[in-house]
Structure 1
């Protein structure tokens, strides 16, 4: 629909406007189509092809859904979604309460586990609301209302008692926040997204922006760089089993674990996103010690996963080497932003990153349980930002 016609329709505040809007939920993104989906997420690196790869990757424990709002039949707003059994202690630090809950599950397998229906994706960096560019701001609250109503009806049909919105970038526009609040969602702090503008012309200029202590430390760490061979690969070939080994080793060391990715995910990213994805591999001799899966849209480089052999890779400071390798890639290919994702914020901020806050929103269909969850929510929020204000 042309922008002028859409604008005209949205200024008609009468019942015909509501009748022209429709929310739908699909089980496959293919039912919506690449053009219609990507029009709601212009410039998004993790758009249709990425989400289709996730859908087909066989990730255990998840059922995928896609919610759209139509105006006069055209898709004008969208969000990915998923269903899962959510363990409430997922974001708790290891030990203590988390271990106690695990012990209770030996006797009651569903203790503090809820059927969850969530807008967003466990495999994307944020849960951005997708609106077509010709949708005026004044219309977006009504479209969000349409999305939420359709999704909550779907969640109820699937007997999901916990509804959520995952990793919504902040601040949320006040009019959109009012819609979320009207649906009884409570806000819970999420993990920020780390990013850095590549607004410098060279690595020397970048180094000059770091503190003297950080510059000294990084130069020391990079002294072993000539012992590491770096390769950019657009396919995994026979190295995929080693990549998965590194990934699983890294995942085991992580404090927060939700989804477990599959070989089909890694392989699918490179095969389904040619020219917009690659894997940087770090070898010492013939031994692959680390790998970094990346996606981009020609402007923003998104660091999806850095996987490393902890024992063999640590002497070569591969985490820091990968950081500088990624910045060099941005400079060489004209990318203007490096997005390094969530967690490990202290190092990222030290190296020049900024943080964009994200929020989670949740509601239990039982009002008593909702009150109870709101009381305990501050103890369940994932937080890896300790020490950033020091």
Structure 2
């Protein structure tokens, strides 16, 4: 499938100001985003819906098994580069397809709990779509490699202090600036294919125009699937309220069906996103006979709509084609509110491409502190790469 890199859509493009060619960079890692100003952080990530308020909501969500941190670079008192990061215990089979090998590892772990589990220090976030380094617009292209080198070196020193033997960068969009890729390689990281991100530009004026772009077979199939639409009540809310326990039931049901399970989201995650991102987050609810059968958490920055999580009662929701209904509901939202891109995230690619999405490749980079283990991991890496290019929707 075609892999292309999407353009960013910043709401208010920043105007760069001159930075001296001999600027001195200083890197550090802080334990909370509250130690960094919102404006300073967001300036490094223009056009990024999952910016300061989103990451702070993740930090405060109480997600088990993760310790959050933030690698930053300063020049004088100014923040010039940044990336979120985390510490965790990483089970090597996390991205393995369900099967005999995964079952064998699971049985061994009952006897030896730490088997194939490494203390991990990773740049990126398990709760964001991608993990690009962010640079303040004042940092000229020529100085960005030096700023990134400073950031990566500071994070590695932090990882050593925390005795993390496995280092990584997660979901870095491709193609990466060759100068940054050279720095990553020079630090001893090996590349591992990640799961692509699906997105679609809303460059059409109406749903009729969108349908006209689909193949005849897809149009016919979608119109058939949407015939049950009048049996479903759709509501958009900015506060889950009393429905939060039911949403969490749907989330856990959906998560249990997933082949890849890393983080486990909490009620505080859903509550925090909706509370801390007013006007930039919402949850779409799908009811049949007053019973909530599906929920879809969304965030946006006024230009890009990001589908964070769709969860559904599989048994009761499937007859109403709620996954496909949510897709068209999200596109209608973009058209109504003037959003220019719908980013539907990772997995279920076959359906997303069929419905008009493009894919941006992502890469993981990893490095074990033991050279022998690193060579072994490089040999088995192709078997550990997550892949859902043939996945279908629930």
Q: State the TM-score, normalized to the length of structure 2.
A: 0.95
Decide which of 102, 109, 125 is 2:129's aligned counterpart.
125
Query: Pick from 248, 253, 256: which aligns with 1:249?
Result: 253
Aligned residues, how many? Answer: 378
**Structure 1 partner of 2:202:** 198
Deviation at 1:387, TM superposition (A): 8.6
**After superposition, where does 1:227-238 map in structure 2 within 5 Å?**
227-238=231-242
Alignment of 1:4-15 (within 5 A): 4-6=17-19, 9-10=20-21, 12=22
**1:356 counterpart = 2:360:** yes
**Aligned: 1:277 with 2:281:** yes
How far the C-alpha of 1:42 sits from its partner, in A, is: 1.2
Instruction: State the SS of the aligned residue for 1:105.
Output: helix
- 1:23 matched to 2:16? The reply is no
Residue in 1 aligned with 2:87?
Answer: 83
Residues 1:37 and 2:38 aligned together? no
1:256-309 CA deviation, whole Å, 9 max, x = no partner?
000000000001100000000000000011100000000000000000000000
Deviation at 1:73, TM superposition (A): 2.5
The partner residue of 1:186 within 184, 190, 194 is 190
Deviation at 1:385, TM superposition (A): 1.2
Output one character per residue of 1:207-238: Cα deviation in whole Å (capped at 9) or x when no partner: 01000000000000000000000000010010
What is the CA–CA distance in structure 2 between the aligned matches of 1:368 and 1:140, rounded to whole Å?
32
State the alpha-carbon separation in 2 of the partners of residues 5 and 380 from structure 1.
Answer: 44
Give structure 1 stretches of 5+ with no counterpart: none
Correspondence list, 1:87-98, <5 A: 87-98=91-102
Q: Is the 8 A contact 2:307 2:345 kept in 1?
A: yes
What is the CA–CA distance in structure 2 between the aligned matches of 1:217 and 1:307, rounded to whole Å?
Answer: 22
Partner of 1:70: 74
Distance 2:91 2:320 in 1: 37
Select the residue among 257, 269, 272 that pairs with 1:268: 272
**CA deviation after TM superposition for structure 1 residue 33, in Å:** 1.5
Q: Which aligned runs of 4 or more in structure 1 are off by greater than 2 angstroms? A: 2-5
Contiguous gaps of at least 5 residues in structure 2: 1-14
Q: Does 1:330 align with 2:339?
A: no
Match of 1:48 in 2: 52
Question: How far, CA to CA, are the matches of 1:239 and 1:39 in structure 2?
Answer: 35
Distance between the aligned counterparts of 2:316 and 2:364, measured in 1? Answer: 37
Distance 1:64 1:340 in 2: 25
Match of 2:343 among 311, 336, 339: 339
- Look up the match of 1:370: 374
Q: What root-mean-square deviation, in Å, do the aligned CA atoms of Structure 1 and Structure 2 show?
A: 1.1
2:37 & 2:101 partners in 1: Cα distance? 44
Give the equivalent residue in structure 2 for 1:145: 149
Counterpart residue number, 1:113: 117
Q: Does 1:59 align with 2:63?
A: yes
> Residues of 1 paired with 2:380 and 2:47: CA distance?
37
Question: Partner residue of 2:383?
Answer: 379
2:10 match: none
